[in-house]
Amino acid sequence: MEKLTLTRPDDWHLHLRDGTAMAAVLPDTARRFARAIVMPNLKPPVTTVALAAAYRDRILAALPAGMSFSPLMTLYLTDNMPPSEIDAVKTSGFVHAVKLYPAGATTNSDAGVSDLKYCSATLARMEKLGVPLLVHGEVTDPAVDIFDREAVFIDTVLSPLLCDFSALNVVLEHVTTKNGIDFVRDSGANVAATLTAHHLLLNRNAIFAGGIRPHNYCLPVLKRETHRLALVAAAISGNPKFFLGTDSAPHAQSAKETACGCAGCYTAHAGIELYAEAFEAAGALDKLEGFASFFGADFYGLPRNTAQISLRRESIAIPARLDYIDGDRLVPLRAGESVAWRLE
């Protein structure tokens, strides 16, 4: 297939940052995706509907003229978010979910949840009002092997959570293991997962290819090949529980190329093209549209997009660096290499 036309996709997991960083990255997403679920892990985090409204206004103000893009906002769950905030979410019309970061799990997660027992009343309200909980599914105990943290989270946190709140809508974000895929597939229709392009394309060898590769380091960390194969199988299965979420997470080059580099891969510059590569490699380009353009909207109870985009099969060079903030640059995934599809 030389040309691929799809209903315009959405990105159900995106980090847009704020200020000049946001202005630098937003056009990459807006060019491709009609909507995106915008992560709330700013500093300080987006913990109230009022903060989300202000953040949404800043995103819309930074959107270049003539681009159509709708940011779908989220709140950052803390130990003391009151249930009344969930009522405000429900009436806002622009906040679509609440994100659980176990405290310390990833970038800007210090204010996250220390123990879900503190959130019971708020989770009960979410379950009642149908507000989805988006989950960063890793335990933070440093004694647990980093490659096992998702599997241990499923057993010790997610599974008990769904026993207590069996009707809660949950998205296991950026699922990276066969354990996660099996869990989501075997749960009720209220449990879904997003899959990133980089976890579909790379296994953990990519972090150590000929030396340490900080730009392939993200959380949850890339896993071994057996897990990658399970992710690809889920993505191309046509099962509507699995949909697109890039987890594009920009960090300045200086914050990645250092003794203790930040977690996060920037993929928005080829946000749909990389998925097309992964689906083509699996011989399943016909399954891309459901995954990228339909299933997420259906899960969130939002209308499917009607506009279309086209990709042409043509190798496109990816720059070694992109402009970012204050003279600091951003190194995108595949920097200095190429991607096999071009957005028309």
Q: How many chain residues bind ligand NCD (CB under 6 A)?
A: 11
Q: Name which of Zn ion, ligand NCD, none residue 106 binds, using a CB cut-off of 5 to 8 Å depending on partner kind.
A: ligand NCD
* Shortest Cβ 107–ligand NCD spacing (Å): 3
Residue linked to tokens 């892990």: 41
* Residues 318-337 close enough to bind Zn ion by CB under 5 A: none
Nearest to 231 by CA among 187, 181, 268, 183: 181
Which tokens go with 328?
């600091």
Q: Is 29 in the site for ligand NCD (CB under 6 A)?
A: no
Query: Quick one: 76 or 299, whose CB is closer to ligand NCD?
Result: 76
Q: What is the amino acid identity at position 221?
A: V
**Candidate list 132, 264, 290, 332; residue touching ligand NCD; CB under 6 A:** 264
* Shortest Cβ 154–Zn ion spacing (Å): 18
| Segment near Zn ion (CB under 5 A); pick from 20-28, 61-69, 152-160, 240-248 | 240-248
The alpha carbon torsion through 341, 305, 243, 339 (nearest 10 deg) reads 10
CB-based contact 56:37 (threshold 8 Å): no
Nearest to 245 by CA among 216, 262, 220, 211: 220
247 is catalytic: yes
CB-based contact 239:230 (threshold 8 Å): no
Q: Which of 10, 11, 28, 247 is catalytic?
A: 247
Strand partners, 70: 35
CA distance linking residue 70 with residue 18, whole number of Å: 16
* Shortest Cβ 162–Zn ion spacing (Å): 21
The alpha carbon torsion through 88, 94, 100, 105 (nearest 10 deg) reads -130
Q: Is 11 in the site for Zn ion (CB under 5 A)?
A: no
CA distance linking residue 249 with residue 260, whole number of Å: 17
* Shortest Cβ 21–Zn ion spacing (Å): 15
Q: Is 123 in the site for ligand NCD (CB under 6 A)?
A: no
Q: Is 78 in the site for ligand NCD (CB under 6 A)?
A: no
Catalog residues that contact ligand NCD under the rule CB under 6 A. 15, 41, 106-107, 136, 218-219, 247, 249, 263-264
Q: Which residues are catalytic?
A: 247
Catalog residues that contact Zn ion under the rule CB under 5 A. 247
